[in-house]
Amino acid sequence: MKEYATKDIRNVVLLGSTKSGKTTLSESMLFEGKVIARRGSVEEKNTVSDNTEFEQTNQKSISATALYAEFGGTKLNFIDAPGSDDFCGGALSAFKVCESGVLVVNAQQGVEVGTEIYARYAKQYGIPLVMAVNQLDHEKVSWERSLETIKEAFGKKAVQVQIPVEPGLNFKGVVDVITMKYYDATGAELDIPAAYADEAESLHQELVEKAAEGDDALMEKFFDTMELNIDEIRQGLAAGMEKGETIPVFCISAKQDIGVKRLMEFIVNVCPAPKCDATKPVSLFIFKTDVEQHLGEVSYFKVMSGTLSEGADLTNPETGNGERLSAIYAVAGANKTKVAKIGAGDIGCVMKLKNGKTDVTLAAPGVAAIPHMVFPDFKYTCAVRALDKNDEVKVGEALNKITAQDPTLKSYFSNELRQTILQGMGEQHINYAMWRVKNEFKLDAETYAPKIPYRETITKTATARYRHKKQSGGAGQFGEVALLITPYVEGQEQPKNFKIDGKDTILNIKGSEVQALQWGGKLEFNNCVVGGAIDLSFMPAILKGINQKMTEGPLTGSYARDIRVYVYDGKMHPVDSKEIAFIIAGRNAFSEAFREAGPKILEPIYDVDITTPSDYVGNCMSDLNTRRGMIVNQEMDGNFTVLHARVPLAELYRYSTVLSSLSGGSATFSMKFAEYQQVPADVQKKLLEEYAAQAKEEE
């Protein structure tokens, strides 16, 4: 394979709902590009893309597959992305290395949930779109209905550039109103049939006007001549697409390979080339890492600058770790072709890197790292345990390997919850990860509801005194601590007047320390001891003991936060007072005071933004009410309503699955931690009962 100049490269991601036909379109593009001699099919499980056991069994894409076609002197790299929002990471990774996208629409259904979801993602990431209405050869196709849904969803952005000729089982080809030619099922260029001439002329005029809107110079010419030539139409469409104001609509049958060649010609002529500089030192960005049968770990990259040669020695600018790329490949799914060089803007892969993982830059010395990929926050969290306790470590290791390949998955062991936590984009996403644990790593494990990271704090002031005394042969231990605790409120002036043992007392602070706790909130520690009752050298030991109890609140064993501590009295022994004695005394005095200070449980509250068709707003709001959610406000986003709510994390387990059921799969949501709030009294009572029952079981 020859080396392509940057201007002769196009990088495109294929987007759309599940079952829209992206994988079948990939086959036809590979065929037209002469990468394959025969087109496979999803039904026969022999496509270049979707080549894993899980994808073939379920007949849907799970991961994004990098492919290419050599077409008209241009190398067309295209990435077949999954259609389910649960696996959106594949598309979002592709956005990092692609300059445009093809939004595939199933002509039997018109614009679907996935169509609009991925259109929104493309808008968010600034990816220009072309739309391909697919499956126009199906007996149940309705071109009119499809066109209607496109106009409803995209309004004036959608500009029709083709007319399907006899859509349905006798689909014959397309009339193209850019070139004003008819392309039959073989791709031959012919004159427009008389029956379509008037419609073609009308659409051509609309197209010219739309193209003129994309560029001021073209608009001036249009006003002067009322016409634009083909190159000018392409120029105007390219400008409109770049601004996100134009989405050209094509008509295809990927299965019959009708209209695919014309779509590819448009991509080559109109879609943008990579904005990469071949004259600069070499750098590449790894956008995907996978483990492939017989090959091991494969890293997929885009050359961001310079020219990459096999045997290159590159460095991760962020860590300083070096890598040698002994062999590099052009990639079309499982088909990999060894090449000597890959130019700026092109996509390829390399095998068995030591440190080259997803979202990593490798570059020549002195080249800065490429900004990292940006993904939505996790939507689904569960706990994982091995069915055989002896396999716990192995299951954790398996999950770590799986999540290293997918930035939208995260796995870790929570010391606080004492659970292995797995986070992803939805229940399907989690189920696929667990399928891999079972089938690839041969381990049996299950998911279950995770514990909630509650916090404990106090609501009033309390005092306690504790004496630790130990005499059991050898050196003794003695330490006595008297302390007062009160709620810590950020920005509130430090109080000094308190009632201790029934007397009004002023505590004079000799030393103060505020700790920002790792789990949130603050601990303020004040030394108010007078007359040398406790030597200053023992204060760190008392603080250490208090910190130990901050990790285990008395109500549910959760972390404690937002507490002021005043150590105001105590006693020492000239021989037996040691650090350990004051650690124990401080810990127990704090624990006793905590129990008397009106302890309360705090729960994590999340900001939840739900984007739903207006028809389902009532369903979503009613459901939020059952989850103790509070709707903050709502707004319109095109044809969608966005609900902004605050919901306790305890009420959000499996919410992605429920929301999909409530809205027919059409609503999406995002969630982000907001703050901790006190739980209602009835919830606290329930939590205390559950904690007591659990403690009894563990006795």
More reliable by pLDDT, 258 or 2: 258
**Cβ distance 183 to 174 under 8 Å?**
yes
Taking 90 as the threshold, does the pLDDT of residue 544 lie above it?
yes
Q: What 3-state DSSP class applies to 365?
A: coil
Residue 495 has pLDDT above 90, yes or no: no
Query: Residue 416 sits in a domain of what CATH number?
Result: 3.30.70.870
Ordered DSSP codes for 299-314: EEEEEEES-EETTEEE
Q: Is the residue at 372 inside a domain?
A: no
Predicted confidence band at 473 (pLDDT cuts at 50, 70, 90)? low
On whether both 27 and 64 belong to a single domain, the answer is: yes
Burial-class residue 609 by CB neighbours within 10 Å (0-12, 13-18, 19+): middle
DSSP string, 205-255: HHHHHHHHHT-HHHHHHHHHHS---HHHHHHHHHHHHHTT--EEEEE-BTT
Same domain, 235 and 318: no
The single-letter DSSP state of residue 173 is E
Are residues 38 and 63 both part of a single domain?
yes
Three-class HEC string of 553-611:
CCCCCCEECCEEEEEEEEECCCCCCCHHHHHHHHHHHHHHHHHHCCCEEEEEEEEEEEE
Q: Is residue 687 part of a domain?
A: no
Reply yes or no on whether the pLDDT at 638 is more than 80.
Answer: no
How far is it, in rounded angstroms, from Cα 457 to Cα 488?
Answer: 9
The pair of structure tokens assigned to 652 is 């959000």
Report the CATH number that the domain containing residue 123 is assigned in CATH.
3.40.50.300
Collapsed DSSP state (helix, strand, coil) of residue 514:
strand
In this structure, the answer to whether residues 493 and 546 fall within a common structural domain is yes
Determine contact, residues 101/78, Cβ cutoff 8 Å: no
Q: Is residue 370 part of a domain?
A: no
User: Quick one: tokens of 400?
Assistant: 């770590």
- pLDDT of res. 691: 85
Say how far apart CA 350 and CA 316 lie, in whole Å: 15
Burial, 220: exposed, middle or buried (Cβ in 10 Å; 0-12, 13-18, 19+)?
exposed
Q: Which pLDDT belongs to residue 637?
A: 82
Q: Give residue 418's pLDDT.
A: 92
The mean pLDDT of 561-569, rounded to a whole number, is 96
**Which stretches does DSSP call E strand in 346-392?**
347-351, 360-363, 380-386
The closest alpha carbon to 363, from 276, 468, 263, 256, belongs to 276
Read off the tokens for 220: 């001036």
697 assigned to some structural domain: no
Total domains in the chain come to 5
The average pLDDT across 592-607 equals: 95
Is pLDDT of 71 > 70?
Answer: yes
* pLDDT score for 537: 94
Residue 547 phi, psi (nearest 5) = -60, -35
For residue 57, pLDDT beyond 80: no
Count of CB atoms within 10 A of residue 125's CB? 17
349: CATH: 2.40.30.10
pLDDT of 61: 77
Distance separating alpha carbons of residues 146 and 17, to the nearest angstrom: 14
Task: Please identify, among 416, 448, 480, the residue that sits at the C-terminal boundary of a domain.
Answer: 448
Phi, psi of 202 (to 5 degrees): -65, -45
Q: With residue 511 as reference, give the H or E element that holds it.
A: strand 511-516
* Average pLDDT over the chain, rounded to an integer: 93
For residue 165, the Cα-to-chain-centroid distance in whole angstroms is 41
Which long-range contacts (C-beta less than 8 Å, at least 24 apart) are formed by 209-214?
210/159, 210/236, 210/237, 210/240, 210/246, 211/235, 211/236, 211/237, 211/240, 212/236, 213/240, 213/245, 214/238, 214/239, 214/240, 214/241, 214/243, 214/245, 214/246
Round to whole Å and give the CA distance between 620 and 641. Answer: 11
Q: Is 691 contained in some domain?
A: no
Provide mean pLDDT across the span 327-336.
Answer: 91
97 band by pLDDT with thresholds 50, 70 and 90 = very high
**Residue 564 buriedness (CB in 10 A; 0-12 / 13-18 / 19+):** buried
pLDDT category, 130, cuts 50, 70, 90?
A: very high
Residue 69, strand partner residues:
76
User: Percentage of the chain surpassing pLDDT 90?
Assistant: 82
Does residue 374 belong to any structural domain of this protein? no
**What's the pLDDT band for 55 if we cut at 50, 70, 90?**
confident
Instruction: Please check the confidence at residue 126 and state whether its pLDDT lies above 90.
Output: yes
Q: Distance between CA 362 and CA 350 in Å, rounded? A: 12
**177: which DSSP letter?**
T
Same domain, 263 and 129: yes
> Cα 201 to the chain's mean position, in Å?
45
Quick one: 481 and 569 in the same domain? yes
- State mean pLDDT over 181-192: 96
CA–chain centroid gap for 673, Å, is 15
In the predicted model, is pLDDT for residue 293 greater than 80?
A: no
Q: Are residues 168 and 209 in the same domain?
A: yes
Are 442 and 464 in a shared domain? no
With a cut of 70, say whether residue 258 has pLDDT above it: yes
Strands 158-160 and 247-251: parallel
Same domain, 293 and 345: yes
The CATH number of whichever domain residue 676 belongs to comes to 3.30.70.240
Torsion over CA: 525, 531, 534, 535 (sign): positive
Mean pLDDT within 479-486: 96
How many other β-carbons are positioned within 10 Å of the β-carbon of residue 472?
7
Round to whole Å and give the CA distance between 325 and 298: 12
pLDDT of residue 696: 74
Which of 178-187, 224-233, 292-301, 408-417 is least confident? 292-301
pLDDT at 639 over 80: no
For residue 375, tell me if it sits in a domain. no
Residue 534 has pLDDT above 90, yes or no: yes
Examine the pLDDT at 275 and tell me if it is beyond 80.
yes
The pLDDT assigned to 506 comes to: 93
Q: Are residues 335 and 418 in the same domain?
A: no
Provide DSSP, 270-337: HSPPP--BTTSPPEEEEEEEEEETTTEEEEEEEEEES-EETTEEEE-TTT--EEEE--EEEEETTEEE
Q: Which of 338, 363, 388 is the last residue of a domain?
A: 363
Distances (CA, A) of 596 to 394, 484, 504, 593: 44, 11, 19, 5
**Alpha carbon separation from 224 to 221, 229, 234, 240, 619 (Å, rounded):** 5, 13, 19, 21, 54
pLDDT at 44: 83
**Residue 219 pLDDT more than 70?**
yes
What tokens does 75 get? 């190398």
**432, 448, 464 - which closes a domain:** 448
pLDDT attached to residue 699: 57
The average pLDDT across 266-295 equals 93
For residues 389-395, average pLDDT: 96
Instruction: Answer yes or no: do 606 and 577 share one domain.
Output: no
pLDDT at 335 over 90: no
| pLDDT band (50, 70, 90) for residue 463 | very high
Lowest mean pLDDT among 237-246, 486-495, 558-567: 486-495
Q: What is the residue range of 107's domain? A: 9-270
β-bridge partners, 601: 456
pLDDT in tens, 296-330: 889 999 999 999 999 999 999 999 999 999 999 99
pLDDT of residue 698: 66
What is the enclosing helix (H) or strand (E) of 28?
helix 22-32
Q: What is the pLDDT of residue 666?
A: 85
d(CA 599, CA 487): 10
Confidence band, pLDDT 50/70/90 cuts, at residue 694 = confident
Does residue 1 belong to any structural domain of this protein?
A: no
Can you give the pLDDT at residue 1? Answer: 74
Domain of 483: which CATH number?
3.30.230.10
| pLDDT of the residue at 389 | 94
Determine whether 634 is exposed, middle or buried from the number of CB atoms within 10 Å of its CB (0-12, 13-18, 19+): middle
| Distance in angstroms (rounded) separating the CA atoms of residues 622 and 75 | 52
Task: Tell me if 114 sits within 8 A of 84, measured CB to CB.
Answer: yes
pLDDT of residue 32: 95
pLDDT 10s digits, 404-442? 889 999 999 999 999 999 999 999 999 999 999 999 999
Mean pLDDT of 514-534: 94
pLDDT attached to residue 356 = 78
| CA atoms lying within 13 Å on the CB side of residue 610 | 33
359 & 387 share domain: no
The pLDDT of residue 575 is 82
C-alpha distance from residue 89 to each of 7, 59, 255, 342, 610 (Å): 28, 19, 27, 25, 19
Q: Is the pLDDT of residue 109 over 70?
A: yes
